Amino acid sequence: MEKIKETKAQSKRGLWKPEEDLILKNYVETHGEGNWGTVSKRSGLMRGGKSCRLRWKNYLRPNIKRGGMSQEEEDLIIRMHKLLGNRWSLIAGRLPGRTDNEVKNYWNTHLNKKNLLGKRKTIDSNKQHIDNEDNIEKQDRRKPSQPHKSQSIFSTSPERTTDEGLMDLDEKKQQVKEESSFTDGTWMEGAVQCFNYDYDYDIDMIGTPLMMMNPDYSNFVFDEGPFTSYMDSFVLFEAFGTDSDHVGIQSFLP
DNA sequence: AAGGACACCAACCGCTTTCCA
DNA sequence: ATGGAAAGCGGTTGGTGTCCT
């Protein structure tokens, strides 16, 4: 414990200076990545290993892309997030040159507010909804040249009725399809393309079960699904069962 | 011009997972 | 099988710049 305190106290914190970047870059290029704990000692940087690792990973690594996200990247993030939730490293893995930290920040600052704005109102979230709207308005005043490019993705969800349980399956499928459509009218296409996977999906195979796993949330996530850990190497997943109350997902590994 | 409010984003924190002796 | 170190990850914080009043 004392050792930890000592190390923390000795570690320099805050923004990295260009000369520190240079030292770290030279060190890693000479000695390779890894053993970050020893990097600070050997390189002379008074930084913690974690800090060095993060700095390298997020900024100094070759092929890191800096600057604003393109429209394509933004769309991909939205689609991937719809599919994976806050799995930033997985999402970033599909955006060459982008880091999980960057994707996360971009989501939280640019995309999440649009998402919240589009969420349907509930009794408790009413105030939040209004607050978000207010924030967007303020942002618009500040940056009138930046339109909300993807806002329509999240603003099309209809109010969900309380007698939803009585809806027949076809009706439910249609609603699911409408709620999860992207701006271009495709459904899950982006997610499928993300995995370089050309598959003739249909709503029965993928959409309905997924949405039913979390029927109250149009921006669905994979909650604790055992298959999610295979997403990155994912080749095929398939729903089995047609009973709306007992559907599941089965994953197939390569 | 000055100060407050806000957005952005780099960096940090703490927990979890993986690796290895 | 186990424990410690390293790495990975997502959430959060805090500094800085910009805009508004």
Lowest mean pLDDT among A3-12, A83-92, A186-195: A186-195
A58: region left, alpha or beta (phi > 0 left; psi from -120 to 50 alpha): alpha
Instruction: Show the domain range for A187.
Output: 161-254
Average of per-residue pLDDT values in chain A: 55
Note the CA–C1' distance, A8 to C5, in angstroms: 17
Write the single-letter amino acid at A24. L
Q: A146 beta carbon < 7 A from strand C?
A: no
Together in a domain, A104 and A138 = yes
How many angstroms separate the CA atoms of A74 and A68, rounded?
10
Q: Residue A10's pLDDT is what?
A: 60
Q: Which nucleotide is nearest to A38 (CA to C1')?
A: C6
Together in a domain, A47 and A134 = no
Q: A173 beta carbon < 7 A from strand B?
A: no
Q: Is A209 exposed, middle or buried (0-12, 13-18, 19+ CB in 10 A)?
A: buried
Together in a domain, A142 and A168 = no
Together in a domain, A51 and A74 = no
Identify the CATH number of the domain in which residue A32 sits.
1.10.10.60
**Cβ–Cβ < 8 Å for A139, A131:** no
Together in a domain, A89 and A114 = yes
Question: Domain boundary at A31, A60, A89, which?
Answer: A60
First to last CA, chain A: 45
pLDDT tens per residue, range A45-78: 888 888 888 888 888 888 888 777 888 888 888 8
Contact positions of strand C to protein Cβ (< 7 A): 5-12, 15-16, 18-21
pLDDT tens per residue, range A105-162: 888 888 766 655 444 332 233 333 333 333 333 333 333 333 222 222 222 222 222 2
Question: Domain boundary at A155, A172, A197, which?
Answer: A155
Q: Which nucleotide is nearest to A109 (CA to C1')?
A: B8
Q: A57 beta carbon < 7 A from strand C?
A: yes
Which band of pLDDT confidence, cut at 50, 70 and 90, is reported for residue A225?
very low
Note the CA–C1' distance, A94 to B10, in angstroms: 22
Together in a domain, A23 and A43 = yes
Together in a domain, A151 and A166 = no
DSSP class of residue A44 equals -
- What tokens appear for A199 in the block? 């598959």
Together in a domain, A229 and A141 = no
Q: A113 beta carbon < 7 A from strand C?
A: no
Percentage of chain A modeled with pLDDT above 70: 40
Together in a domain, A179 and A146 = no
Contact positions of strand B to protein Cβ (< 7 A): 6-14
* Domain count along chain A: 3
Residues 6+ apart with CB under 8 A from A22: none
Together in a domain, A179 and A249 = yes
Together in a domain, A72 and A151 = yes
How many angstroms separate the CA atoms of A92 and A151, rounded?
21
pLDDT at A104 over 50: yes
Question: Domain boundary at A124, A139, A155, which?
Answer: A155
Together in a domain, A171 and A246 = yes
